[in-house]
A and B are shown apart, each in its own frame.
Chain A
């Protein structure tokens, strides 16, 4: 069925575009604003906070202890992470094994088929990022085998690490700088804050299906 469907559709489309307008308008581009790193950090902060995301700027060597300070008052039981990533290793190395005030680290080490029941019960997840976008405050994530897709989606709190040097002025800038088109990952994501909806009377509510809190640690030297 689909072979003929394909042929029929293609035949009709080819006939249709025989009328192609002589000129296809030139696609312009908006100028990329020139921002310095401090401005980019400021913008990221501004846009994240405007949708209730939390942003903390920290020194790279301090982020684990800062994270602990941020998590203590939240009284979480578990924190999901990718044990084989560089930041995962730093995290594990700096995490006290038996501290009742801190969540227990849970590695995402098995395929989701064997891990799903546990995964859906966890309190928080931490991931790295490929950077962020100053223009709209979005984080850029390319999940990997070491840091799977569901870490940033299923637990109610998502913690993300952003290297201040990797904040791009806008999305186009990020695409070019990272030469995305040379090889797209299974899944690339932009995340601009906690999950939200305005489907009931346009009243904004957070944490519908994805995380209700997004906590960003910007690492700045």
Chain B
């Protein structure tokens, strides 16, 4: 994953745009995901009703977040789930390591979890001698390749089957080269079955946690999530603290929105609701269940009434699929765990504008993300807010790094623009001058970059103002 230093977005984008295979893979995949989603939400009215419900559930949960988390903790504890809190990813990692060490465990099987990616958990544990196996097929593929997810739902979508065939053949012992998807799946199944069998600790994410009952909900299709949360004697779940919902009755509409948006399914193959470790008399299931609740900047995001909406996100990934920028450059170019529109608003807030504010520039503001977001996050609006925050002269503390892009030439240019537009006489002179000389002005700085691949518009000889007046409109 891109470390805070050395992240060069422009370079990543150039690189991605030059990779024809990558662009083909993404174009095809995003196109079909859009189609599939469209089919499950074919009824526009119903979809609008449903997402108003989704938005209400998430807004309510965020408004009551401290009390809901306290309730979740109390219920989980009553049920026998051990709850841990972590302000930073380092604390969360340390907690998990400590649990593993207490059990003398050296092998972890992992279900898909974006929060664990955020924590760089694999790297952390592997450096301490623990074998971590990703068991979601997509995650397994990229783990073999030593890569990071390029999409939050289909992490290996940047690879085609030839690339995967070569990878399996090269990295899994005694594996013949095959490009048949069925056979590739069978290879993964065989390899991972043994890992489930031997796993000492299973790790999972959480799609929603129900405060009312202390229930952890997991959505998946493969069954690896159920394996990780049922076979090993210890289960550790990690969640971002925003993932809580108030009531059990909040679950069905969110589930429908999540699976519909993420994969175009009415429901996933499995919906796994975990409320306690193995109870007396039960023959399987983990004897210990731990829940690690991670902050990592979320509590600060919650402070700002506008930015707070970022935390409504249910990580469905559909904004990625619908984003013309993401579709052309893929997830890796974003250089951070969360790519695409959600990454453009979340990452700068988590890591600060100086480090990641540039991500907010990767949008044409076409608003497709906002139109499809199942919980109605106004992503383009928040992108604009973040862009403004990078230049603001009045930092308010709502996001780290405010005003870091503020510079003298731009400030002066805008000051001048303001002066000109506030004085009608000056405005008239400058407009005439622009009409006469505009096309001859040298293209410098940003104008030069901008016009490298675009035809610059011609400046009209006469302004609209003059023309309307000439046509007899006195006061436009």
Contact = CB atoms under 8 A, between A and B. Distances in A.
Contacts of B59: 21, 24-25
Interface string A142-186: 011100111001000000000000000011100110001100111
Contacts of A194: 269
Contact of B227 (A13, A16, A144, A209): A209
B273 A208 contact: no
A184 B222 contact: no
Contact of A24 (B60, B214, B224): B60
Contact of B213 (A112, A181, A201, A211): A181
Q: How large is the interface on B (under 10, 10 to 19, 20 to 34, 35 or more residues)?
A: 35 or more
B351 interface: no
B152 interface: no
A13 to B, nearest CB: 4
Interface in B290-323: 293, 295, 299-300, 302-305, 308
A210 B192 CA distance: 11
Interface string B8-31: 000000000000000001001100
B69 A181 contact: no
Contact of A193 (B50, B188, B251, B269): B269
A75 interface: no
Contact of B29 (A1, A115, A145, A202): A202
Contacts of B272: 187, 189
Contact of A112 (B60, B248, B284, B303): B284
Given A14-B66, A24-B63, A153 B223 contact: yes
A186 B213 contact: no
Contact of B53 (A6, A19, A27, A189): A27
Interface in B122-160: 135-138, 141, 154-157, 159-160
A208 B185 contact: yes
A10 to B, nearest CB: 6
A10 B70 contact: yes
Contacts of A130: none
Interface stretch (B79-87, B113-121, B420-428, B433-441): B79-87
A26 B248 contact: no
A43 B196 CA distance: 35
Contact of B222 (A189, A191, A210): A210
B44 interface: no
B284 A149 contact: yes
Interface stretch (B275-283, B353-361, B400-408): B275-283
B299 A13 contact: yes
B249 A175 contact: yes
Interface stretch (B260-268, B409-417, B468-476): B260-268
A73 interface: no
Given A2-B95, A181-B248, A185-B275, A192 B50 contact: no
Q: How large is the interface on A (under 10, 10 to 19, 20 to 34, 35 or more residues)?
A: 35 or more
Contacts of A138: 267, 271
B53 A192 contact: no
A12 B269 contact: no
B264 to A, nearest CB: 10
Interface string A48-63: 0001000000000000
A108 interface: yes
Contacts of A111: 283-284
B55 interface: yes
A205 B269 CA distance: 13
Given A186-B274, A200-B164, A209 B189 contact: yes
Interface of A: 1-2, 5-6, 8-10, 12-17, 19-21, 24-30, 47, 51, 108, 110-112, 115-116, 120, 133, 135-138, 143-145, 148-150, 153, 170-172, 175-176, 180-181, 184-203, 205, 207-211
Interface of B: 25, 28-29, 32-33, 46, 49-50, 52-53, 55-57, 59-60, 62-66, 69-70, 84-87, 91, 94-95, 135-138, 141, 154-157, 159-161, 164, 181-182, 184-185, 188-189, 192-193, 196-197, 212-215, 221-224, 226-227, 230-231, 241, 247-253, 255-256, 263, 266-279, 281-285, 293, 295, 299-300, 302-305, 308
